[in-house]
Chains A and B, each alone.
Chain A
Amino acid sequence: MDDLLREFLTETNESLNLVDAQLVRFEQEPNNGAILGNIFRLVHTIKGTCGFLALPRLETLTHAAETLMGKFRDGMPVTAEAVTLILSTIDRIKSILDAIEKSEQEPAGGDGDLIDLLGRMARKEAAAPPQVAPPPPPAPAPIELKTPDAPEKADKQDKLAAERPEEDRGDRLANHSIRVNVDTLDHLMTTVSELVLTRNQLLEIVRRHEESDFKVPLQRLSNVTAELQEGVMKTRMQPIGNAWQKLPRVVRDLCAELGKDIELTMRGADTELDRQVLDLVKDPLTHLVRNCADHGIESPAERIAAGKPAKGTIRLSAWHEGGHIIIEISDNGRGLDLAGIKAKVVEKGFASEAQLAAKSEAEICNYIFAAGFTTAAKVTSISGRGVGMDVVRSNIEQIGGTVDLKSVSGAGTTFTIKIPLTLAIVSALIVEAGGERFAIPQLAVLELVRAGHNGEHRIEHIKDAPVLRLRNKLLPLVRLKEVFRLGACDDENGFVVVTQVGSQVFGVVVDGVFHTEEIVIKPMSSKLRHIPVFSGTTILGDGSVIMIIDPNGVSQALGRAAAAAARAENSELQSREEESDEDTVSLLVFRAGSQQPKAVPLSLVTRLEEIDCRKIEISDGRHLVQYRDQLMPLLRIDAESSLKKEGAQPILVFSDQGRSMGLVADEIIDIVEERLNIEVSSDRPGVLGYAVIKGATTEIIDVGHFLPQAFADWFRRRDPSAVRQTRSVLLVDDSAFFRELLAPLIKAAGYRVVAAASAADALAALKSDARFDLIVTDIEMPDMDGFALAEAVRAMPAAAAVPIIALATMVSAETVERGRAAGFHDFVAKFDRAGLVAAIKEQGADLNRAA
């Protein structure tokens, strides 16, 4: 293509975008002469260049538009129709330009329709309002259009050119820029990176020579290089306003189409970000704004009925925060239609009604990002095709960003997008594994933990899976060395990089950690792209090339089950972390006897051991093993399970008060974090019931059943005078699991147990059957917690004297204080079964004395 023509197209397209934005402003402020002048000048420039390049069709059209614009400038009132007409003219100009770009010549056809309308409007309107302005001279435009002869036009252009110098002065500052090809900038960036590396090498060399003449000049070179690097980086930055330019027009057109009245306000348009990122957020932004205009803002009638101003507002704001740019799109419309979303979610099968009932409003709102989701009853040309929001989300996530939304019914919706400023440079943690260095993007790193035998944190093993106990949580670990097959791992002296991918948190074991460094991401060789654990390569300051680790890929090494769980969680569109923290239980899944998996809460298990079969002795029909200088009985879950004849026998060790028992397992399968829902209870002794864990029906083992088998006096040891009378205990816990777990335990201690699932149920039970000798209640419960229950019980005349034992997951001094005030007699840690039994007995003894 001709250089001149290409230049013209680029420039004209740019000018047109500007005209778009200006026209909408113009419509709002028709009296703003400066805006009118700007638009007029732009159209005029296009026209002038057209003549120069011999594009007659375009020239005639712009000329007609210019004539009308000229009239406006001379004081003719601007009407909405006039703006619409100018806009459609500009659309036509754009389509002609597109055609020129493709074929390098003007497309066939004419623009008589538009020119006619433009001309008529210029004439009619000029004659109509005599009171506004002195009647302008009869418009020569129509004649000019029909016979566009050169001398007259040239004459007019001269006249205009003569006018321009004054007009242009104000905008001259904007011309202090030149157009540079993007490739040139990219190449410049590469060259500077290379320069930086060379500088770093030089610095390294000079550092080794104490006295060097190079020192001073090198320091200077170093500073200049840094400045240059910064400068080049800056050339890639563009104001976010560039991505917003088209939006006023979009909103205006939508208003016209939907009969709405919407104002678009923009703040922080000069916030800068890398042009590559800018390109990628353009479309998602446009979509979100369309969505706000189409779904969010109500019609003027609805708005007035709701007591809001007829004019709706969509607010776009952008600002920097940390290494990110935050873009917020908010409207003051009706907010999201929760009921509609729920109905749609159920209809599309994303979740059941029961599942929805358990979700918060925010969680439900997030379903609009699911693929194939749309609540718009009728598919409009604007939005509602259900291909939008999921694409918005995936586009933003692709560039390492996040999108979040907040909706208040009747008050509006706010979308918040958080994206990195640049894709080219990220902060990364440099680590070492197997003698090689790797970079882990800092964004994924939560914290660093030193692991070692001497330290606070020790890497432990469950079967072959390494885990780390970190603040009451079990962190699954991946050894980088093993993932990379760089040899065996030394757990003694390592570091654990706690990493988060989606909602999954895991630890990456590395040999060493160096420092964080701003790295320039270079695309990975096509020959290495199939390796999922790497996302790119980079050159470090010392000139060496290292691989950038993709935490997502590494997380897959955690095992398929864990990854599947993470995926399932992601597809639920929610980070349910807070929830899972509260409700999930760590379960040890194992196999013993039958093929069906079995599980026990991990917190009940003291240790997992493998014992040499030769050490197992049989005495009095019971299997025993010497374990830590004591004889430990080994129990089988059922008759089906058997002890191994040779090799190592895996056992689950349960310890209490210096006594231990071992439960024989065939194989330890896994440790899972799951919300435990015992769906079918069991009559079989030793089995509490069945739950679905990781897709498999799993027997939940009642450890309480086996403890007395190992030591007949397990529960009675501390109180030789066994309680004989049948006392009744009211057990209150909202978790079915704990009810199931504790009820047999209390029963085993010789009490009758009535279980209540909530404080309200408990109060009801107390009212109907006041004969309880003891209440055992959980503290954290929804609606009414343990403290409130205690106070309520104290207020009941019939039950005021009943001792209450609180089950606490965390016992702090304040809780105890508060509990005493509320009327708790004792506190027991939730998993301290022996402690609970002891407390029950103690309170019982008090009762005896009292009686």
Chain B
Amino acid sequence: MTAMNDIQLSDYVTFTTAGQMFGLPIECVQDVFKPTSITRVPLAGPEIAGVLNLRGRIVTAIELRSRLGLAARDAGQVAMAIGIESRGESFGLLVDTVGEVLKLPDEEREPNPINLDRNLGRVAAGVYRLDGNLLVVLDIDRVLDLSPEAAAA
């Protein structure tokens, strides 16, 4: 018990996209929902999947696959959305599947490997080595920063 107290633990909401496991600190995550009837927004960047109505709030859906420069989801594969509140606005990060919440010790978080994919490296805030899986921790501010210089690659 005392040993546990010495270790700083953080909760991560985990999810997978294109086979890769990701985690977001639980403080960032508002809720998890199944996005329905997303309205496309013409002329918006490829990362913007569209806008949708979540209980009267307008949520901007951001496709993590596009954000990371990955191929689009297979037709028929339903996305899940991680609800995020940032600077007074609501966003939904579209991912493939949502996993469980993990409690992980801060000290085990390792910096990004230098050979990490550039698109991924821009938004990753470290990596956890789990049993048989690598969990990439996302920096939500950087994920949501779609400014041209951040997006250019």
Contact = CB atoms under 8 A, between A and B. Distances in A.
B9 interface: no
A537 B48 contact: no
Interface string A500-533: 0000000000000000000000100111100101
Contacts of B52: 545
A174 B153 CA distance: 64
Contacts of B14: none
Interface residues of B, number: 22
A525 B89 contact: yes
B56 A190 contact: yes
B53 A539 contact: yes
A544 interface: yes
B123 to A, nearest CB: 15
A537 B51 contact: yes
Interface stretch (B20-28, B36-44, B96-104, B108-116): B36-44
A194 interface: yes
Contacts of A483: 42
B66 to A, nearest CB: 13
B87 A526 contact: yes
A508 to B, nearest CB: 14
B39 A197 contact: no
Given A525-B60, A537-B58, A543 B53 contact: yes
A546 B48 CA distance: 14
B37 to A, nearest CB: 6
B39 to A, nearest CB: 5
B89 A485 contact: no
Given A486-B42, A543-B53, A544-B53, A526 B89 contact: yes
A545 B51 contact: yes
A97 interface: no
Interface string A408-447: 0000000000000000000000000010100000000000
B48 A545 contact: no
Interface in A475-503: 483-486
A735 interface: no
B146 interface: yes
Contacts of B91: 525
Contacts of B58: 522, 525, 537, 539, 545
Contact of B146 (A191, A197, A527, A534): A527
Contacts of A436: 39-40, 42
A780 B91 CA distance: 62
A325 interface: no
A546 B56 contact: no
A522 B43 CA distance: 19
B67 to A, nearest CB: 11
A283 B7 CA distance: 58
Given A190-B56, A543-B53, A531 B87 contact: no
B43 A484 contact: yes
Given A525-B58, A545-B58, A484 B51 contact: no
Contact of A485 (B43, B45, B53, B56): B43
Interface in B39-97: 39-45, 48, 51-53, 55-56, 58, 60, 62, 87, 89, 91
Interface string A166-204: 000000000000000000000000110110010000000
Contacts of A547: 39, 41-42, 51
A194 B56 contact: yes
Nearest to A540: B53
A421 to B, nearest CB: 23
B48 A528 contact: yes
A537 B42 CA distance: 13
Interface string A543-577: 11111000000000000000000000000000000
Contacts of A527: 44-45, 48, 60, 62, 144, 146
B56 A197 contact: yes
> Which one of B40, B43, B44, B58 has the greatest number of beta carbons of chain A within 10 Å?
B43
Interface residues of A, number: 26
A528 B89 CA distance: 12
> Which one of A486, A526, A527, A537 has the greatest number of beta carbons of chain B within 10 Å?
A527
Contacts of A484: 42-43
Nearest to B55: A194
Contact of A545 (B39, B44, B144): B39
Interface in B111-137: none
Nearest to B145: A527
Contacts of B39: 436, 544-547
Contacts of A543: 37, 53
Contacts of B60: 525, 527-528
B41 A528 contact: yes
Contacts of A528: 41, 44, 48, 51, 60
Contacts of A537: 51, 58
B51 A531 contact: no
Nearest to B90: A525
Nearest to A544: B37
Contacts of A197: 53, 56
Contacts of A545: 39, 51-53, 58
Nearest to B87: A526
Contacts of B44: 527-528, 531
Interface string A794-824: 0000000000000000000000000000000
A533 B43 contact: yes
A735 B20 CA distance: 75
A846 B40 CA distance: 72
Contacts of B89: 525-526
A337 B78 CA distance: 70
Contacts of A194: 55-56
A71 B105 CA distance: 77
Contacts of B41: 528, 531, 534, 547
A539 B56 contact: yes
Contacts of B62: 527
A436 to B, nearest CB: 6
A412 B39 CA distance: 54
A202 to B, nearest CB: 14
B5 to A, nearest CB: 39
B21 to A, nearest CB: 26
A228 to B, nearest CB: 14
Interface string A733-750: 000000000000000000
Nearest to A534: B41
Interface in B139-153: 144, 146
Nearest to B146: A527
A539 B89 CA distance: 16
A484 B44 CA distance: 9
Nearest to A547: B41
A45 B114 CA distance: 71
Nearest to B60: A525
Interface string A109-120: 000000000000
Nearest to A434: B42
10 contacts: A194-B55, A434-B42, A436-B40, A484-B42, A525-B89, A527-B146, A531-B41, A537-B51, A539-B58, A547-B41
Interface of A: 190-191, 193-194, 197, 434, 436, 483-486, 522, 525-528, 531, 533-534, 537, 539, 543-547
Given A193-B56, A197-B53, A197-B56, 7 more contacts: A436-B42, A522-B58, A528-B48, A528-B51, A537-B51, A537-B58, A544-B37
Smallest CB-CB A-B distances: 6 pairs: A194-B56, A484-B42, A525-B60, A545-B51, A545-B39, A531-B43
